Amino acid sequence: MRKHYEVVIGLEVHVQLTTQTKIFCGCSTEFGNSPNSQTCPVCLGLPGALPVLNRQVVENAIMAGLATNCRIAPRSIFARKNYFYPDLPKGYQISQFELPICEHGHLMIETEAGGEKRIGITRIHMEEDAGKLLHSDDPGTGSRVDLNRACTPLLEVVSEPDMRSSDEAIAYLKKLRQIVMYLGVCDGNLEEGSFRCDANVSVRPWGQQEFGTRAELKNINSFRFIKEAIEYEIDRQIDIVEEGSKVVQETRLFDSNAGTTRSMRGKEEAHDYRYFPDPDLVPLVIDEAWIARVREGLPELPEAKTRRFVEDFRLPAYDAEVLTAERALAEYFEACAALHKDAKMCSNWIMGEVQRKLNDDGRSIVDCPVSPQLLCGVLTRISDNTISNKIAKTVFEEMWTSGKDADTIIDEKGLKQVTDTGAIEKMVDDVIAANPAQAQEFSEGKDKLLGFFVGQVMKSSKGKANPAMVNELLCKKLRDA
Ligand SMILES: [Zn+2]
């Protein structure tokens, strides 16, 4: 049944900016301080207080616009979006409506089929966040409002309804999040609400030109839940259409415990908000020189970095993708590759041991206890045959907790690889002498037994014998035996 329908998804993402101060006043945006400690007449909405636009917010918006291929408007205006809610003391939110700062952009995503797909970005505009209501569970204590978040700067990024599956929606969101994090304008934290997504979902019979009626799914705080909410909504709408009923345009909430969505309220239209230009703020004029300056300061973006990693370091495309997923991870890799010439070896260790330990500890690369210098110390000792790859993992484990460098650990633990031919020869002779039956079978053609002998010698050397030398000596001696 589902295959007779086409899914149409458009996304609205609220990106909370990491500026130090709020968008229209000098109050701090720091998270987690005592309620209402970061407020002033402007963000409290007191009469007579006037907003002053934060220049950094404009720069961040231009950066986001350029990174998503938008046209930056030479003139944009702020508008009042009027509605009443206890966490909005002014009775209106300052946003942008008719003339947003960025328009006509796009992002490229990878689709399940493997190809690239272009997702249009209708607009990006600047606005202020509302405060936060705190509802107590104790009866009779009522609800309270914390206005520390009021007036915090947001970018709202509105996509075209170009996505055709929940997977495409997630691919778009991940790409957008990666870009704003690379730009350093947002910390990308979904759980804390720094990157919030509303999804407009509708279905239509294949071949139909006009869109079906959409439902808006509000504020879902993880990629998994966004996918589940969209999937549930698609099935729900198809069921309604199949029954011959009509989908109602409304806002729905996702219940992550039940995995379902439920109606929250009828969807407002723009005219319900009575938008009008904010008379307290002059139109924002951005000249070419300003845009050029911001463009100059843009960091290298993920796609360009991935390409460069393939070309400059000769990495497989897969490695380059993984290493550039996060800017800090890419920088860690580059620091390693500058110290150790075997870039593929650096990549293997970072994607393997480093990522595994980070996952185990629940840390991000920014808090990695092993610096690129320390890691390269281990890699150098593998390359010059001081230790085997296997022993290197032991050294790395020790390094992770003690912070000591590779040479110190190798010395202290006596892990240096045995490359002395005489010593290895002695171990090989002992092992062959101790296993005469196996030696006999080997000489009769049971080649598989070589592995057994290598294992025995490595064991008697506590893993420190040079494996290549062990192999060579064993072959020689067993054949002569
Ligand atoms: Zn303030």
* The domain boundary residue, chosen from 258, 290, 322: 290
pLDDT at site 175:
95
Spatial CA neighbour of 424 closest among 385, 472, 388: 472
Residue 346 structural domain: 300-413
Tell whether 10 and 151 lie within a shared domain: yes
476 C-alpha vs ligand 1 centroid, how far in Å? Answer: 81
Tell whether 269 and 342 lie within a shared domain: no
**CATH number for position 456:** 1.10.10.410
80 C-alpha vs ligand 1 centroid, how far in Å? Answer: 18
pLDDT at site 376:
94
Tell whether 38 and 112 lie within a shared domain: yes
Whether residue 11 is contained in a domain is answered as yes
pLDDT > 90 in the chain, percent: 65
183 C-alpha vs ligand 1 centroid, how far in Å? Answer: 26
Q: How confident is the model at residue 477 (pLDDT cuts 50, 70, 90)?
A: confident
pLDDT for 450 beyond 90: no
Spatial CA neighbour of 58 closest among 11, 96, 105, 12: 96
CB within 8 Å of 151: residues ≥ 6 apart: 22, 23, 24, 25, 27, 42, 43, 128, 129
CB within 8 Å of 153: residues ≥ 6 apart: 16, 17, 19, 22, 23, 29, 54, 57, 60, 126, 127, 128, 129
pLDDT at site 270:
67
Tell whether 210 and 307 lie within a shared domain: no
Distance between CA 22 and CA 30 in Å, rounded?
A: 10
39 C-alpha vs ligand 1 centroid, how far in Å? Answer: 4
pLDDT digit string, tens, across residues 273-320: 889 999 999 999 999 999 999 999 999 999 999 999 999 999 999 999
Mean pLDDT of the chain: 91
93 C-alpha vs ligand 1 centroid, how far in Å? Answer: 14
Q: Largest Cα–Cα distance in the chain?
A: 100
The single residue listed with the structure tokens 């690889």 is 417
127 C-alpha vs ligand 1 centroid, how far in Å? Answer: 15
Q: 31 near 258, Cβ under 8 Å? A: no
* The domain boundary residue, chosen from 236, 271, 290: 290
33 C-alpha vs ligand 1 centroid, how far in Å? Answer: 14
26 C-alpha vs ligand 1 centroid, how far in Å? Answer: 6
Tell whether 143 and 88 lie within a shared domain: yes
CB within 8 Å of 216: residues ≥ 6 apart: 198, 199, 200, 201, 250, 251, 252, 267
Distance between CA 227 and CA 170 in Å, rounded?
A: 7
Tell whether 264 and 360 lie within a shared domain: no
Whether residue 295 is contained in a domain is answered as no
Tell whether 275 and 377 lie within a shared domain: no
Task: For residue 23, give Cα distances in angstroms to 45, 144, 298, 428.
Answer: 14, 23, 21, 74
43 C-alpha vs ligand 1 centroid, how far in Å? Answer: 4
Task: For residue 468, give Cα distances in angstroms to 70, 388, 461.
Answer: 57, 10, 14
198 C-alpha vs ligand 1 centroid, how far in Å? Answer: 27
Tell whether 223 and 354 lie within a shared domain: no
41 C-alpha vs ligand 1 centroid, how far in Å? Answer: 6
pLDDT for 481 beyond 70: no
Counted residue by residue, the chain has a size of 481
Residue type, 464: K
pLDDT at site 468:
82
27 C-alpha vs ligand 1 centroid, how far in Å? Answer: 4
Three-state DSSP state, 330: helix
17 C-alpha vs ligand 1 centroid, how far in Å? Answer: 16
pLDDT for 74 beyond 80: yes
Q: Residue range 10-14: average pLDDT?
A: 96
36 C-alpha vs ligand 1 centroid, how far in Å? Answer: 10
Q: How confident is the model at residue 1 (pLDDT cuts 50, 70, 90)?
A: low
Max avg pLDDT among 139-148, 321-330, 443-452: 321-330
Tokens representing 6 are 């086409």
37 C-alpha vs ligand 1 centroid, how far in Å? Answer: 10
Q: Residue range 138-149: average pLDDT?
A: 88
Distance between CA 59 and CA 291 in Å, rounded?
A: 9
87 C-alpha vs ligand 1 centroid, how far in Å? Answer: 14
Whether residue 56 is contained in a domain is answered as yes
Whether residue 404 is contained in a domain is answered as yes
Q: Residue range 92-114: average pLDDT?
A: 93
Tell whether 110 and 80 lie within a shared domain: yes
78 C-alpha vs ligand 1 centroid, how far in Å? Answer: 18
pTM of the entire structure? Answer: 0.83
Instruction: Put residue 252 in one of left, alpha, beta given phi > 0 → left and psi -120 to 50 → alpha.
Output: beta
* The domain boundary residue, chosen from 290, 321, 342: 290
Tell whether 48 and 81 lie within a shared domain: yes
Whether residue 165 is contained in a domain is answered as yes
35 C-alpha vs ligand 1 centroid, how far in Å? Answer: 13
Give the orientation angle of helix 436-443 with respect to helix 449-460, to 10 degrees. 140
74 C-alpha vs ligand 1 centroid, how far in Å? Answer: 28
Query: Which string of DSSP letters, residue by residue, matches 195-235?
Result: EEEEEEEEEEETT--SPPPPEEEEEE-SHHHHHHHHHHHHH
**Between residues 425 and 328, the one the model is more confident about:** 328
Distance between CA 342 and CA 313 in Å, rounded?
A: 9
pLDDT at site 150:
95
Q: How many domains does the chain have?
A: 3
pLDDT > 70 in the chain, percent: 99
187 C-alpha vs ligand 1 centroid, how far in Å? Answer: 22
Neighbours of 424 (CB within 10 A): 21
Residue type, 147: L
56 C-alpha vs ligand 1 centroid, how far in Å? Answer: 16
Q: Which residues, listed in sequence order, are joined to residue 119 by a DSSP beta bridge? A: 107
Whether residue 127 is contained in a domain is answered as yes
30 C-alpha vs ligand 1 centroid, how far in Å? Answer: 12
Lowest pLDDT segment from 101-105, 115-119, 263-267: 263-267
Whether residue 173 is contained in a domain is answered as yes
Tell whether 227 and 334 lie within a shared domain: no
Instruction: Write phi, then psi, for 295 (nearest 5 degrees).
Output: -60, -40
Tell whether 381 and 397 lie within a shared domain: yes
